[in-house]
Structure 1
Amino acid sequence: MALAKLSVVVLDCPDPSALAGFYAEVLGGTVEVEDGWADLTTPDGRALAFQASPGFTAPGWPAPDHSQQFHLDLTVDDLDAAEAGVLALGAKPLDADDRSRTWRVYADPAGHPFCLCAC
């Protein structure tokens, strides 16, 4: 028997509204903003939250001396089209040298790593 249910994943960032807006453009859904906090609910009912973190420092990837802490895997139908979309929204590629894999690594506008993964 489980002791708990996962409610939401919360990302620290300097601007919760802006980062929630980025992920709303990538995943779809609606954003609700309160002071220092934003909730994104995707069309399939999943949730991400974003919390203001003064002095936020983005994780490093790949960097043996800086932990990435976690990353999101996002499934896409068309890797090239999804890449063009996230780059237009402000994501930065973190593995631009290797396009032979079925996944690619990016940093969101606040620096959190995420992967686009072909299904």
Structure 2
Amino acid sequence: MPLAKLGYVVLDCPDPLALATFYAAVIGGTPKRDDDDWAHLEGQDGTPLAFQAAPGHVPPQWPAATHSQQFHLDLDVPQAEMDAVEKEVLALGATVLDAEDRERSFRVYADPAGHPFCLCAC
């Protein structure tokens, strides 16, 4: 029997509500501000995400062994919709980290706070 159940995956960031709003537009759900230092998504499918204020937040660098990314999110997208979803996440404020190889099954981006995430063909 497991000892615990995963509650939230929490991302440190400079502006919790802004990052919650970004991810709500990408994966669904409704951004909710709990207080100035915390926001979360309600009603999305999958593992719940929360966002915590981190003054002085320094985003990871990808790829860079000296500035480890710690973790990243894999977001599944139908193969036929990859280009359209890419355009939308970029319009929402994501930046491209590694998406040149269009034959590969994934593309790597950073969210507005600098956390890496992948769009993965499913």
Q: With structure 1 as the length reference, what TM-score do the two structures score? A: 0.95
* Superposed CA RMSD: 1.1
- Structure 2's unaligned 5+ residue stretches are none
Q: Structure 1 residues 33-42 or 60-69, which shifts more?
A: 33-42
Cα deviation per residue 1:70-113 (whole Å; 9 max; x = unaligned)? 00000012111110110000100101332220110000000000
Question: What amino acid sits opposite 1:66 in the alignment?
Answer: H
Aligned residues: 119
Runs of 4+ in structure 1 deviating by more than 2 angstroms, as ranges, are 41-46
Aligned to 2:3: 3
Aligned to 1:57: 58
Aligned to 1:18: 18
What does residue range 25-104 of structure 1 map to in structure 2 within 5 Å? 25-33=25-33, 34-44=35-45, 46-77=47-78, 78-104=81-107
Q: Does the 8 Å contact 1:9/1:49 carry over to 2? A: yes
* CA distance in structure 2 between the aligned counterparts of 1:55 and 1:90, rounded to whole angstroms: 20
Q: Does the 8 Å contact 1:27/1:42 carry over to 2? A: no
Q: Does the 8 Å contact 1:61/1:67 carry over to 2? A: yes
* CA distance in structure 1 between the aligned counterparts of 2:57 and 2:112, rounded to whole angstroms: 13
Identity %: 68
* CA distance in structure 2 between the aligned counterparts of 1:45 and 1:74, rounded to whole angstroms: 10
SS at the partner of 1:21? helix
